[in-house]
Structure 1
Amino acid sequence: MVEGKNDTVAVLKAVEADTLETRGSAVGSDVIAAVKRAQERRGVIIFTDPDGAGERIRRIISQEVPGCRQAFLPRNEARGDKGLGVEHATPEAIQSALSDARTEDGTEVPSISWETYLKAGLVGGKGASKMRERLAEMLGIGYANGKQFYKRLHLLRITREEFEEALSRVEEEREETRG
């Protein structure tokens, strides 16, 4: 599931796949019906741009069609002259994102407490946004604001071990750049 024709072209340069296009952020009932059919018959990977419109599309489809897999491109790998988008990514970045796709089953399993999340400095503090962005890249789950990122950690079943390992690597990188 991609947003448009240019995304389809980019995906087909990277992998052999069938794509469905939303044709914009106004996801209509015809698109939802097509995604439901595809999900029932063979499964769907939602692969939208790492921007506000892409996140909106991802939320709508996830709510309407449970069990879809989620693939995310880091923002730095989706940057082009005209903004952020799947169409700007290299075939290698697309292959990596698709191979790291995770299933969202719609239930949150809180393996990471809100207190742990706050102590990690991922909301409200200086550098929280940059930390979430780097953590999202390491975990392959896409950037989001503080509350949405916390929710995504649970919906995509990121384990406490995965979280702590990635967080440790982020903190090591920060120390290296300071020292």
Structure 2
Amino acid sequence: MIHVDQAVVVEGKYDKIKLSSILDAVILTTDGFGIFNNKEKTALIRMIAKKSGLIVITDSDGGGRMIRNFIRNICAGLPVKHLYIPQIKGKEKRKISPSKEGYLGVEGMPKEQLITLFGQTGITYTHQDKDFSVKKPFLTKTLLYADGLSGAAGAVRRREALAQKMGLPKDLSTAALTEAVNLLFTEEEYENALNEIYVEKEGILP
């Protein structure tokens, strides 16, 4: 298992699954071209780029280049490293037919080749014991409910207050706020922010 400090951005869930088998890292997906119209995902990627830096690895076809350029534009001036997989003709096992341009995507790359790619491009990383794993998300639906951030009167205003306290866009959806908090903050930081808005926002939090 390779640990990298930067967050890694890939196109889809199968790319994420593949990289999760070799990397100890925060891995985000663009949901293919879905990111083009997803302001919440765009904001989240920018926030993570500012905090930890990004590594972008997309497919080697035209679609991958479009997504890569989009991230380059939204993260202009931020620490972003681009990795490029080779153009290899082939088809992933789960697919009935090859992609439009006929190249293997990130999910189709051999693990050894991906490990070599990370090692040859100047990214600082460390090998960890196989039992080392990324911290598990602490903010769950159950905790949101228990903390009055979901399923209760005033939950929307509470989430907005929490988002502002943590420096996040206040109009994030519940799912986006949960993802952002889990990726960007520790449980202690979350609890401190929650306690502060309980004290500061009289009438918003009982």
TM (norm. structure 1) is: 0.52
The secondary structure found in structure 1 opposite 2:30 is coil
Q: Does residue 21 of structure 2 align to residue 13 of structure 1?
A: yes
CA distance 1:100–1:65, change in 2 (3 Å): farther
The secondary structure found in structure 1 opposite 2:53 is coil
State the AA in 2 paired with 1:85: G
CA distance 1:64–1:101, change in 2 (3 Å): farther
Q: Which residue in the other structure is 2:67 paired with?
A: 57
Q: Which residue in the other structure is 2:91 paired with?
A: 80
- Alignment map for 1:103-142 (pairs within 5 Å): none
CA distance 1:100–1:12, change in 2 (3 Å): same
State the AA in 2 paired with 1:57: I
Kindly indicate which of the two structures has a greater share of residues assigned to helix.
1
Q: Does residue 111 of structure 2 align to residue 91 of structure 1?
A: yes
Deviation at 1:102, TM superposition (A): 6.7
Runs of at least 4 residues off by over 4 Å: none
- Give the share of equivalent positions with the same residue, in percent: 25
Deviation at 1:89, TM superposition (A): 0.7
Could you tell me whether the CA contact under 8 Å between 1:22 and 1:31 is conserved in 2? yes
The secondary structure found in structure 2 opposite 1:80 is coil
CA deviation string 1:71-113 (max 9, x = no partner): 110012x74243331000111111122234479xxxxxxxxxx
Structure 2, unaligned stretches of length 5 or more? 1-8, 93-97, 124-206
Computing the radius of gyration from Cα coordinates, the structure with the larger value is: 2
Matched residues in 1 for 2:47 and 2:119: separation?
A: 22
Matched residues in 2 for 1:30 and 1:101: separation?
A: 30
Kindly indicate which of the two structures has a greater share of residues assigned to strand.
2
Structure 1, unaligned stretches of length 5 or more? 104-179
The number of residues matched between the two structures is: 102
CA deviation string 1:119-155 (max 9, x = no partner): xxxxxxxxxxxxxxxxxxxxxxxxxxxxxxxxxxxxx
TM (norm. structure 2) is: 0.45
State the AA in 2 paired with 1:69: K
Q: Which residue in the other structure is 1:161 paired with?
A: none
